[in-house]
Amino acid sequence: PSPASVLGPGTALPLVINTWNFENAANAAWSALQKGGSVLDAVERGCSQCELEQCDGSVGFGGSPDERGETTLDAMLMNGDTMEVGAVADLRRVKNAVGVARAVMEHTEHTFIVGESATIFAENMGFMSEDLSTNKSIAIFSQWLQQNCQPNYRKNVFPDPSKSCGPYKPKAKLWKPKNPKGNFDPSSHDTIGMIAIGKNGQVAAATSTNGATHKIPGRVGDSPVAGAGAYADSTAGGAAATGDGDIMMRFLPSFLAVDLMRNGAQPTVACKMAISRIKKYYPNFFGAIICANTTGGYGAACNKRPGFSQFPFMVVNPQTNQSQLQKVDCF
């Protein structure tokens, strides 16, 4: 059962909350705060932990190979005090994506660097270049090729993407699939999204992911996009999303949830409203969001669909003093 604090305002600070049952990430972030680190240090440390552990195969190296079999990474951090953001996407051959995102924030006047250029930037900043493939990611890719590249993200192309691999060319006559995104696999999308709130209400948020398995090379989802994958504002709170990024990023759910909290909504209500906005257009989408406000209140919400009726997330605050798994029923 969900503790009352998920439903109520809550007053315990500092606070760390992250998506999914990524317990070691929550503990790493909490430990950073306990040692006097900033909220930015905490979310970077927490997401880095998931990158090292390859959380659920969907964060960090060696997971979610794209159509070429390569693993690429997306990450972002946001400082809710200054509204600075650092982000990278389609980052190749560098394992610590969230660290590179922080380097973008602290060593450039830019917000977002992508692709091969992001790798060159990372190398210049002292990050090591190494192969992100593993035996597991190579096996996933080989099996996919043997299954005629099923599933994939192509539409309105020939040859028929439901039966064969590319290269694909555009098809003149467009068609609408009967059930868009109907066979989406939740296990291919478990971004870590994390929010940390300091004892004086400072807010930071971060994300890290290796994106959708079998994505078209160059695809960027919601995770590294400020307002979509995560958002932080020390005058209101923070939010982070996980799920089908191609759909979710169209609605900026993290920005929406933080804005709703700014206008007085409790975290759980803000989370539900952000999910409801997407449901109106995509009733079957796979997704969830966590929200926390500057008084230590927190909540989560998820869209109910076959195989996904509850969303787990981790919370640490002075009341728990260790990472605690909580769950919310999807609606």
Domains and CATH numbers, the chain: 15-132+187-329 (3.60.20.30)
Q: Which of 72, 119, 191, 207 is catalytic?
A: 191
For residue 87, give both structure tokens: 């982000």
Query: Is the N-terminal amide bond of 14 cis, ω within 30° of 0?
Result: yes
pLDDT for position 143 = 97
Residue reference for tokens 């992250």: 18
CA-to-CA dists, residue 288 to 18, 56, 237, angstroms: 11, 16, 17
Say yes or no to pLDDT of 183 above 60.
no
**Which range among 66-75, 131-140, 143-152, 176-185 shows the weakest confidence by mean pLDDT?**
176-185
The pLDDT-based confidence of 8 (bands split at 50, 70, 90) is: very low
Angle between helices 267-279 and 253-262 (to 10 degrees): 140
The pLDDT value given to residue 190: 80
Structure tokens at 133: 């493939």
What pLDDT does 174 receive? 72
Q: Residue written as tokens 């929406």?
A: 256
C-alpha to C-alpha distance for 214 and 195, rounded to whole angstroms: 28
Give the closest residue to 189 by CA, choosing from 148, 155, 153, 237. Answer: 153
> 10 falls in which pLDDT band (50, 70, 90)?
low
188 or 66: which leads in pLDDT: 66
Residue 240 has a pLDDT of 98
Q: Check pLDDT > 70 for residue 11.
A: no
Of the chain, the percentage scoring pLDDT greater than 70 comes to: 92
Beta bridge partners of 151: none
Contacts of 304 (CB under 8 A, 6+ apart): 329, 330, 331
Please say if the pLDDT value at position 263 is more than 90. Answer: yes
- Is residue 213 among the annotated active site residues? no
Q: Name residue 267's amino acid.
A: P
pLDDT at residue 205 tops 90: yes
Q: Are 300 and 283 in contact (CB under 8 A)?
A: no
Binding residues for substrate: 219-222, 242-245
Residue 57 has pLDDT above 90, yes or no: yes
